[in-house]
Amino acid sequence: MTKSQKAIIAAAGLFAILGAVPTKGFSANHKEMVTVPAGEFRMGCKDSDGVFCVPGANAHTVYLKEYKIDKYMVTFDRYQECIDAGYCSEPYYGAACNYQMSWAGDHPVNCITYEQAEQVCSYEGKRLPTEAEWAKAARGTDGRIYPWGNSPKSSCDLAVMNQKRGGKMGPGCGAGTTQPVGSKPKGVSPYGAMDMVGNLWEWTSDWYDDLPTSAQKNPKGPRWGDYKVLRGSSWTSRYQDELALTVRFPYAPKGQGYVIGARCAAD
């Protein structure tokens, strides 16, 4: 296993480094969706992209019909509404899980299982995105490596990540956890989706397997598997390769990691 692979795997299970209590973010409609038009895009990667290409993330062309995807990750306020309606179960809390923290309302909900992610999306009349839908919404059609383009200069100006500050590591841009959704508008995707890298990894509906090498149309991934696909990186990510849109990660559906959250989609 290479150093880059170890770094990416560590990003899904790093220890919590608690810091200052985050401040409230912007007042926004956190259920807002953006439209991704029908058409082709390049999914996956190849070595010449200049970033670490996860084994099995084969570059290929995908056609997707028009769909919608959440502009923001599901927040604790949205998830609490689902709990109050008797539709969602409570997420795990404690340690670096932020449920029931007084400041967490507009932060992305973390420590939810795949089933809980499905529950909240279903409650809102939506569903989890396929991996291909997530990738196009983040990457657009020009093959960019990051939501903001191809510049590898990831920083806290663009994403909620782990950036050195005063010679010390700064998980969550110094907050020691997540930050409010939409708090890094300079890192917006081509279609207007926020936090497509950083803050939290996100569940997709696909089972994990190698990506195909041939063109596909509206793919939904394998019919079964042991792990679901996570996309997006988190507040603990510090390497450029971890933040690239070429990264995909397998995660057990019952996992409740403190770097795991969700975003919903709709036809």
**Tens digits of residue pLDDT in 119-173:** 999 999 999 999 999 999 999 999 999 999 997 777 899 999 999 877 777 999 9
pLDDT at 29: 65
What is the average pLDDT score of the chain? 89
CB of 262 within 8 A of CB of 74?
A: yes
Model confidence, pTM: 0.89
pLDDT at 169: 73
Structure token pair of residue 200: 């939290």
Question: Residue 138: helix, strand or coil by DSSP?
Answer: helix
Domain at 1-267, CATH homologous superfamily: paralog of FGE (formylglycine-generating enzyme) (3.90.1580.10)
CA atoms in the 13 A half-sphere facing the CB of 76: 21
- Between β-strands 216-217 and 201-207, what pairing exists: parallel, antiparallel or unpaired? unpaired
Which residues of the chain, if any, have pLDDT below 50?
1-28
